Structure formats: structure tokens, C-alpha cells
Chains A and B, each alone.
Chain A
């Protein structure tokens, strides 16, 4: 069994930490990725596309007028902790409706929340309930992006996102995370979303996994994943490589959302990306990582690196 693991190049948690994260990720860069407000500041300033942050709530006092702050975003919004992890604490509000003088915030699943519930959730975020460190946090009220129509057949509510593992500034492996009914519209594999591996050359889905089990069809829409080809694929990979220029983490996961109008946008960066991407791709990470280490890497910016990447992939 272990021999098969090694042969297939499956990366385990221990090796990921010891061989890739610790030597390649400078601790000083962590705050930029662990705090989504700082990520936004750093990347937006350098012209990388990101969803708009409508508001950042940092103190309990700001909660008094939260209803007034939110009712204008009738097309929905996302509440997320600035320092959350694994998608914990994220609430996606699809729309706001008014019935008999009461305002309801409707989640992707159809569940209705009243203002008190929203206030309570934001308050919990500020108190640090979902924060990585357990310290006080900030709540981000973020623009809710629309899913690209290509994903309509392959997801249930919510917005799919694309995770690209970027090693030393070069894309290594990618997957698209598709929400399901069970994941409550969230694109989080821990919460039963589907992870589909993507062929780096073509952007075509090459495998799928849900709750660590291989699948071929979406559990809710019953559509076959192998028919899915991600549009603007090279743009997505280029954007992920561009992140490294401003956030030099040697080993990171870049989460990207494909908006039908605005194109690929960076959702967040992860300094400790999970390993399920291997299951989704039916391929281990070690060989692609070692292949990049073995290459002569000259690229000093993302354009040069992407040119090298395309050359290695035989795309030019």
C-alpha cells in the first residue's frame, strides 16, 4: 500500500508541512493571507481582480446599524470572517425580502434569517469564534459574485470556486469546487461540496470527489463532470501565478471565482492548502512538485513564469 502511495506521488500532511510549507512559506507573509482584509489591500492595490468588500465590521458598536448597512444589497452579499479557515463562518445571502414590515435575509439554501440572527453571526465573527488564532476578528461584507453559467449544470446553489496550487509561482494542480445541497451552497469540500480535478493544459475536468469518495455525476444535478471544460482557463492560471509576485508564498492555494462579466477574480489565498485536490485529480502532488523543482526556473514575473509553464506543458 505504502509503495503504491509513493509510486503515485501522494503528498501526506506531514510531508506537505515539513518539505513544502515550512521551507517555502515565510512566516512573515502569513498575516497577508490569513487576514482577508490585508489580502484585499495587497492584491487590489497591485491591480489583481478581487470581489468588492462592501464593508468591514471590526467592532461590536458597528452592529447597531447593521440592518441599515445591509438592506441596500438586494442582490445578496457574503458575510465572512477576515481570518476564518476552511470556509467556517461564511454565510451567503442570496437576496433580501420584505414581508409585513419584516426584513428577511435569504440564504442560498432558502433559509430565512432575521436581522438579529445576522447581527449575532457577525458579532460571533468579531469575537473570534471562527478566527484561525481564536483572537478577535473582523467581519467582511463582500460582494456576492454570480456563478458562471457553465456551472449551472454542475452545482446546487452557491458559487463554485477554483483552487489552484501554486508552487514557487507556477501552477501545479487545480480543481473546481462545486456546491451541493448537502454543503448548503458552500464550495467547501469539508462540508460535502464536490471537488473536480482539472487538466492544467485544457481546463477539462478529469475526476471528481465528494466526501473523499470518487464520483462521476453531480449528486444533485446528476450531470456528468467529464463534459465540463472551464472557460478562460489560461487567464485563471495566469491570475493564480500573478499572486506570487505580490505575496511570495512558495507553496499556496489560490482560490478564484469565475464571474460571467468580470472574469476570474481572486477570492482568497491559503497558506496551508488541503490535500483533497489529489483525490479530485486522481493524481498525487509530489511528482508535479518535484518536476517544477527539477526545472530551470528563470521567470522573474508572472508573465515569464507562465511562458515557462506553457513551454513545459507543450502549449507553445
Chain B
């Protein structure tokens, strides 16, 4: 390597590292944004139907140890709204006016639990001891059950615990038992009825109780959809509301992915069961990266330094997204150059493996490969069939391209009609790439035979998957985006690879018979 070349490479390698260290050490910039991988958007919609309402109140979600509420944005006429941290009111609401809020909640992992919020009660607790009138028979059954479960001189906590144990150990779940008396006689009840009986027993034992309504954020169903109501309970012990979930056998905490939205279900029951209101809850995972880019970007942008001139977080979001994806390509090119020039892996075309990687990123590693294999087989059959027509090369290639698009269309329609839950992954440019690959594939097959063709195909796919594996690390992606100067580092590495005059790994295998003989 020439001296000036070595200097350029040195600068290209050292400068980005120095800049990263400068940002982290001297500007006290966080090395990477904090991960936020379980963020959901919850949307509450409440629409008065038919008649105008003097007052509509919605409680706002409050952070718990297992989740935190990030942002709450209310929906509805701002002029009629009053809001505090606990709830939001609208006065004089006309019918058909959409009210509600959107909240972003972040579920915390077990090791990342927050402090338990103050659950001390405020205001009148007597109403949590009251319950609606019951039949004489039911009253008697409840009293008998209660006297069998607890002693009158038990502490509140003991009483509740004994009732809780009875439910978790003896009451059976039977979803079609919704009648109170039948449930008390049979010891079987639906989930909701069990909550009601638990609440009644606790209240009868002199301990305030309330049913909590919320939603269960199922990670398997992350796309936006209407959610079913889910329930838990709270009991007031020693002036503090303690969460209880008799179905998950939890005393003192909620189920992991349960988000309480209405702490006093009965108070707001009108909204859910009254035909004067239309009430809906939607939830979906937030479609952002797994990192809190926004917050991190704001933090970086506030740093007063010349290095902020190329801070990409200041660009419009659309441009940011483009660079977010683009910055992987030079890294992929480094891998590709290494694999081709130092390992000696053969590929179809030069950048085909990288383009295939982008396709696999969209379609998924396994599905992408199945799809790729299917397209290769179909494309090759088409090509062999077209060979018999003796068509000119360009129209023939164009027919192949069109047939490929028709194949994709068939796939999309079949998926739509027969597999509605399947996420259709089609991207425009890989179609063209695949057409070219098939053309190259079939020519290599005819000219060089199966061995060379499959070797090249394997080489193309292996580089493609290697890049996919590297691209999989989202922390790396955000690192490249946060420190654009690393692209200079890649140029330095590429010069080093480009200057490599040594043997390729494949040549060692190729020439080894020669060595053996010479020895």
C-alpha cells in the first residue's frame, strides 16, 4: 500500500471512531437510545347516541409497576373539555360526538419493573361497600358461604385472602353459568360472575371492593383491532387498594399484560351496557422502531455542538426513514466485498445478494426463501418453455418478467381468499432482480452445468443471508443512523479489502491438489 493511500485509510478509520468517542465522552451523548420494545397504542372511543349528555367522564389510564403510560391525547370538542391527570370531562355533549382518548403504554419487562404507584384511597369509601339489592335466597346463600369461609374477628386481609383462596381453589369456571343463585348452588360460574360474587362476598365481609375493567394486550394479536373487555378486582386493605386477579391466581398484582382502564367498573357501567352510548376499545402495537428514536433525537439535537450539523435526527421523518434503511447498504457492501474478494464466493451479478437481502428483510427469512425457491422453479420452467418458441431475447425476458408479476398476483389473491391472516409481503424491485437472476441462472445452467450454477446460487444466497443476519441487529442499525460518520469507516475498510492482493479462501481449495503433488 502506498504511503498516501495508507494515510487516507488511517484517516477514514480513525476519524469516525474519534467522532463517536467525542460525542459520547465529551458531549455526554448516550451511546444508543434506550430500548422500547413493547409499546402499545390504546384507543378509547365513546359516542353518545340519540340523546345529548350533560356530563361525560372518562378516567385516564394510570401507570402501574408493570407498565407506564407514555402519552395521552384526548379526542373530542376541546371547548367543552376539562382534564386533569386522573380523568377527563366533557360538558353539554351533543349526540354522535366522538369522545375518547389515545394513550401510548409501554409494558415493562420483569427485570425492569417500576415503583408501585400510590394506591391510597381518596374520598368516600362507603360506596365501595354498597351493592344493589339481592333476592332473599341469594342473600342467604352468600351469608352462609361467607360464614363458612371466614371468622368475623379475622383481619380484613385474612378475610379477603380466605375468600380469594376459595375462588382460586374451589370455584370452577363455567362460562354458561351467569345466574347468581345457580352459581352459588353449584360452585360454578362464568369469569365475570365470579368477579361479581367475589366482590359481593368481600363487601359483605366489610371490606370495600371494586371491579376493575381493562384490556389484556395479547402479543400474538398486535394488529389494530377492537379489544374485548377484561376484568380484575381491587380490595381496600389498610387504606390501600390491592389488585386481585382470581383467574390468574394473583393477589397483590395484576396479570402481566393487563392494563386497567376503569378502576370502578360499576360507576361507568352505563357507558358499556347502555344503548345511549357506543363504546369501543382498540389496541395495537406502535409501528415504530424498537428504540425511542424521537426522544433520543430531541436529546441529541439540544446539544450545542458543531457535530450536530450532520445529526440525522433533525431531518424530516420521511428522510430519516430512508437513511435508516440506506445506511445498511454500505455495510452489506463491505460484507459482499469481503465474501467475494477474500473468501471467493461466486454470485449472480455483483449486488444481487444485497438486493435479495432487502427482499428477505421485507418478506422474512423463511418465507422469503420459500418464495424465492418457488419463483426460481416457476421462472425456470417458464424459461425452458419459452425457449421452445424461439423468441427474441428482450421480449422473452419481458414475458418472464410479466409472468413473474402474474405469479405474484396469484399468490396475493390466494393469500387474500384462503389465508386471510397471512401477511402478504411483496416488494416491487425484487421482482425485477429475480427475473434477472432466473435469466442468469438458466444461462449458467445451460453453459456451465448444474454444479457451477448451484454453487453460484448457494454463494448468492449465503451472502444474502449473512447480510440478513447482520441487519437483524436493530442496535447496529440505530448505531449507524446515530453516527453517520461510520460510513467513512466503511470506505476505509473497502479500500483495505480492495487493496488485498492475497489469496482468496476458495483459491486455497482450488490450488491445494497442486500443492500436494509438489510436496
Chain B 180-227 interface residues, beta-carbon cutoff 8 Å to A:
none
Is there contact, CB below 8 Å, between B448 and A191? yes
CB distance from A274 to the nearest CB of B (A): 11
Residues of B within 8 A of A282 (CB): 514, 517-518
Does B123 have its Cβ within 8 Å of any Cβ on chain A?
no
Is there contact, CB below 8 Å, between B502 and A12? yes
Residues of B within 8 A of A14 (CB): 341, 500-504
CA distance A197 to B514 in the complex (A): 13
Q: Is the interface of B mostly helix, strand, loop or mixed?
A: helix
Is there contact, CB below 8 Å, between B392 and A123? yes
Residue ID in chain B nearest A126 by CB atoms: B393
Is there contact, CB below 8 Å, between A10 and B514? yes
Q: Digit string of A5-41 for contact with B (CB within 8 Å is 1, else 0)?
A: 1001010111100110000000000000000000000
Is there contact, CB below 8 Å, between A212 and B513? yes
Residue ID in chain B nearest A4 by CB atoms: B515
Is there contact, CB below 8 Å, between B508 and A191? no
Does B510 have its Cβ within 8 Å of any Cβ on chain A?
yes
CA distance A89 to B393 in the complex (A): 13
Q: Given A4-B519, A124-B393, decide whether A214 and B512 contact each other with a Cβ distance below 8 A.
A: no
Chain B 496-510 interface residues, beta-carbon cutoff 8 Å to A:
499-504, 507-508, 510
Is there contact, CB below 8 Å, between B447 and A88? yes
Q: Digit string of A113-125 for contact with B (CB within 8 Å is 1, else 0)?
A: 0001101100110
Residues of A within 8 A of B443 (CB): 88, 129-130
CB distance from A10 to the nearest CB of B (A): 5
Q: Is the interface of A mostly helix, strand, loop or mixed?
A: helix
CB distance from B400 to the nearest CB of A (A): 13
Is there contact, CB below 8 Å, between B501 and A127? no
Report, as a range, how many residues of chain B touch the other chain. 20 to 34
Q: Given A12-B502, A12-B507, A282-B518, decide whether A1 and B512 contact each other with a Cβ distance below 8 A.
A: yes
CB distance from A17 to the nearest CB of B (A): 8
Is there contact, CB below 8 Å, between B515 and A214? no
Q: Which of B391, B503, B513 has the most CB of A within 10 A?
A: B503
Does B390 have its Cβ within 8 Å of any Cβ on chain A?
yes
Q: Which of B391, B501, B502 has the most CB of A within 10 A?
A: B501
Is there contact, CB below 8 Å, between A1 and B515? yes
Does B344 have its Cβ within 8 Å of any Cβ on chain A?
yes
CA distance A89 to B447 in the complex (A): 8
Is there contact, CB below 8 Å, between A60 and B511? no
CA distance A60 to B395 in the complex (A): 13
Is there contact, CB below 8 Å, between B508 and A15? no
Q: Given A117-B390, A191-B448, decide whether A279 and B511 contact each other with a Cβ distance below 8 A.
A: yes
Contact among A5, A126, A128, A191 for B515, CB-based, below 8 A: A5
Chain B 325-362 interface residues, beta-carbon cutoff 8 Å to A:
341, 344
CA distance A279 to B509 in the complex (A): 12
Does A272 have its Cβ within 8 Å of any Cβ on chain B?
no
User: Residues of B with Cβ closer than 8 Å to A?
Assistant: 341, 344, 387, 390-394, 443, 447-449, 452, 499-504, 507-508, 510-515, 517-519
Given contact pairs A2-B502, A4-B518, A88-B443, a sample of 17 additional A-B residue pairs in the complex whose CB atoms are under 8 Å apart: A1-B508, A2-B503, A2-B508, A8-B518, A10-B507, A10-B511, A12-B504, A12-B507, A15-B502, A60-B392, A88-B447, A120-B387, A127-B394, A191-B447, A275-B507, A278-B514, A279-B513
19 residue pairs from A and B, CB less than 8 Å apart: A2-B502, A4-B515, A5-B508, A12-B501, A13-B507, A14-B504, A15-B502, A18-B501, A117-B390, A119-B390, A120-B387, A120-B391, A127-B392, A127-B393, A129-B393, A190-B448, A191-B447, A282-B514, A282-B518
Q: Which 7 residue pairs spanning A and B have beta carbons closest together?
A: A127-B393, A120-B390, A15-B501, A12-B503, A88-B447, A18-B501, A12-B507
